[in-house]
Amino acid sequence: KLTSFISKGCLQITDKAVTCLAQFCNRLEVVNLHGCVNVEDCGVSRLAAHCPKLHNVCLSGCLRLTDASLVSLAQHCHLLSTLEVAGCTQFTDTGFQALARSCRLLEKMDLEECVLITDQTLVHLAMGCPRLEKLSLSHCELITDDGIRHLGTSPCAAEHLTVLELDNCPLITDASLEHLVTCHNLQRVELYDCQLVTRTGIRRLR
């Protein structure tokens, strides 16, 4: 009957443990494996396949994971609303494209330090995730103004997007802030160390 499993930073957690969890606790809705660095794609794939009710998943700091984990979540966990994968440096646009196509209920995504993603990830999220409320792209250094343009014209922008984190995104300029003017519910934009953003650009958001 277990619906929530939180195991932050447990180095003893491996694919074998996650597989057992998935097999015997298929009613899980919330799983937090933050910093469980020995978990790999096989474990996440089993978790996704056995636990279709998952709606809140944290895999931040699980450094061994690849797009295969995201594809498995996309295939089996269509109720997913919160996904935290900060520091998963092997994830690419391919994995997030799969998620955006299948997980249309996504509301909160932490993609901080997913350093391989490009504007293509934002193109797919803009088209596929109309409920997106909070998105962290901090330290995603390949994101440009064009990606933010797609986000700013997406269905989620006008009604839902409230938080956008862009700290340390060196290619972001004032043009991105112009694209965000249509995000009427935007409450917080983080731009720490975005050195191409000026005070003039920031004033446009007021």
Q: Do domains 1-106 and 118-206 have the same CATH topology?
A: yes
Enter the tokens of residue 21: 């969890």
Return the number of other C-beta atoms located less than 10 Å from residue 26's C-beta. 14
Determine the pLDDT at residue 1: 86
All residues at 6 or more sequence positions from 171 whose CB lies less than 8 Å from its CB, including other chains:
141, 142, 143, 144, 145, 196
Please tell me what DSSP assigns to residue 41. Answer: H
CATH of domain 118-206: 3.80.10.10
pLDDT exceeds 90 at position 205: no
What distance in Å separates the CA atoms of residue 82 and residue 99, rounded to the nearest whole number?
Answer: 12
| CB within 8 Å of 120: residues ≥ 6 apart | 93, 97, 147
Phi, psi of 190 (to 5 degrees): -105, 125
Q: Where along the chain do its domains lie?
A: 1-106, 118-206
- Residue 43 is predicted with a pLDDT of 98
Q: How many helices (H) and strands (E) are present in the chain, helices listed first?
A: 9, 8
Transcribe 68-119 into DSSP letters.
HHHHHHHHH-TT--EEE-TT-TT--HHHHHHHHHH-TT--EEE-TT-TT--H
pLDDT at 206: 76
Extended beta strands in the chain, E state: 4-6, 30-32, 56-58, 82-84, 108-110, 134-136, 163-165, 188-190
Do 91 and 63 contact (CB within 8 A), yes or no?
no
Architecture field, domain 1-106: Alpha-Beta Horseshoe (3.80)
Average pLDDT score over the chain: 97
Q: Which helix (H) or strand (E) holds 158?
A: helix 155-159
Amino acid at 160: H
pLDDT band at 204 (very low <50, low <70, confident <90, very high): confident
Local confidence band at 78 (pLDDT 50, 70, 90 cut-offs): very high
pLDDT digits 0-9 by tens, 135-193: 999 999 999 999 999 999 999 988 899 999 999 999 999 999 999 998 999 999 999 99
